Structure 1
């Protein structure tokens, strides 16, 4: 029996001591031995919009308390997964030490900045059973450079066309068995036809329900390259634009079980309303 895996690092029952491994809520087999299953190391300077969500109070000092990813969509706005902001992950009310790390490749280095989160908006329509509407917006206590903001791909953007090469970024599990590392990695995947995920995750499946239009399917037909636990909320980028947020899947890197992402084109309108016209995220030219 498969178990649905939302790709956040859930809080362990007992906070890990510094230097100890942090177990995920569910471990799943995978087929590769590098961060973001099947991935390669990358310097954050090449993807300055990729950020880490951290809480040392909740997750200890190991890997700076990282538990999810995020992406900068405005100078004080970070987009991430709604399930990363669930009470069982960040606490209820949310932990006061929730921060976003920007400009840091190695989580244990002094590179970049730790910026406190001033406000959290989690999509009230998020459905934990189907995984629909899996996005949240974090407001930062101080702005980041405009150069760190990534354009969003709107509806009709060719970046969503099946077969398009895309890249997913994160600090998540390397093997699906709690092998977390501390350096940013990326994996190259391809946008897949909606039909492939509809067959893999039909209505009523235990993993979740794939809904074309609000979700995006990406990976490889043979498996091997994918996001994994700890990558949730991180960016999927194609043609220089944000097209997806790491959301869910069955295992990591399994053939026949592609990764599922929140489709950014479905988020744009709500995001603009949440941020306000004066703080609206930048969209690529021609994006709707």
Structure 2
């Protein structure tokens, strides 16, 4: 199985309810200088559109109930990974205390706002086998300020060009072996050619990379990557959102870059243009 982040396994990258982490394909530690793997601490004021998804009923209160990340793309609209909303993560029926935590760098604190999620729309075309279309839209019961909103990169945006520097944000595993951050972390990566992920993930055993719906990002030598618990969080390049943390194999491996949901594709599906912050097509 993939690593979605809860990140998907080969890895979704979300947290599992019972063990707080979906196990990696390999238990060997990833290369890291501490944190997101190979990253550094950052204050949420630098990226106010980065939010934590929370359910204390499901994940406990120590880290504010965080299990995935999300991105504010409209005052009352948050994007995350579809696999973060799966019954394996949030139970069946789904938890009733699903909340977005905004403006909180340290999950041990009570700084910022905790806003209940009023409605959840999961992409009906999401394919859990290939991880294609891995996105969901959350509608909040209260609005955040426009300063918390990040713009999205449409198709043809130069931010998707291979070699472009990008940054991923999250509170997930910092080592690849289950060391979860309680303060926000970021890692600087590069957008990689689609061919790099097509070679790494050619088929079912290790996942199937689909360039139309996914973005390949990481470092050719490995060491910087998103990891478990970062799912649904933002990949940002040139000041615009280009990806959502989705899946991969292990964390920080040189031959297994991270795979992100392509934002230009979800904009196409939701009929959002570059001037839109809310979708009339969802929920």
Partner residue in 2 for 1:225? 224
- Mapped pair 1:129 → 2:153: no
CA distance in 1, matches of 2:22, 2:261: 21
Aligned partners of 1:92, 1:44: CA distance in 2, in Å? 32
Contact 1:160 1:243 in 2 (8 A): yes
CA distance in 2, matches of 1:279, 1:200: 35
Deviation readout 1:24-75 (Å, 9 max, x if unpaired)? 1204431114230000000100100000001010011121110000000111
2:7 is the counterpart of 1:8: no
Write the distance in 2 (CA, Å) between the matches of 1:109 and 1:42.
15
3-state SS in 2 of match to 1:37: coil
Shift of the alpha carbon at 1:278? Answer: 8.3
Q: Over residues 55-114 of structure 1, what are the superposed CA-to-partner deviations in whole Å (9 max), with x where a residue is unaligned?
A: 010011121110000000111100000000001111222111110000110011121100
User: Unaligned stretches of 5+ in structure 1?
Assistant: 13-21, 282-288
Gaps of 5+ in 2: 3-8
| 1:213-241 CA-partner distances (Å, limit 9, x unpaired) | 21000000000000000000000000000
Q: TM-score, normalised by structure 1?
A: 0.89
Whole-Å separation in 2 of the counterparts to 1:144 and 1:271: 21
Whole-angstrom CA distance in 2 between matches of 1:146 and 1:65: 25
Instruction: Using the TM superposition, give the Cα deviation of residue 244 of structure 1 relative to its aligned residue in structure 2, in angstroms.
Output: 0.2
Greater than 6 Å deviation, 4+ residue runs: none
Mapping 1:267-278, distance limit 5 Å = 267-272=266-271
Instruction: Measure, in 1, the Cα distance between the counterparts of 2:165 and 2:154.
Output: 17
| Cα drift, residue 272 of structure 1 | 4.0
Report matched runs for 1:1-288 at 5 Å: 4-12=10-18, 22-27=19-24, 28=27, 29-204=29-204, 206-272=205-271, 279-280=278-279
Rounded Cα–Cα distance in structure 1 between residues aligned with 2:172 and 2:12: 12
Distance 1:39-1:278 versus aligned 2 partners, 3 A rule: closer
SS at match of 1:7: strand
Structure 1 contact 74–280 (Cα < 8 Å) conserved? no
Q: Count the aligned residue pairs.
A: 268
Decide whether the 8 Å contact of 2:73 with 2:277 is kept in 1: no
Contact 1:35–1:171 (8 Å) recurs in 2: no
Distance 1:207 1:138 in 2: 29
Residues 5 and 207 of structure 1 are in contact (CA less than 8 Å); yes or no, is this contact kept in structure 2?
A: no
**CA–CA separation in structure 2 for the residues paired with 1:143 and 1:185:** 25
The alignment's C-alpha RMSD in Å is 1.7
Residue 270 of structure 1 and its aligned partner are, at CA, apart by 2.5
In 1, are the aligned partners of 2:74 and 2:277 still within 8 Å (CA)? no
Change (3 A) 1:128 1:280: closer
Equivalent residue number for residue 5 of structure 2:
none
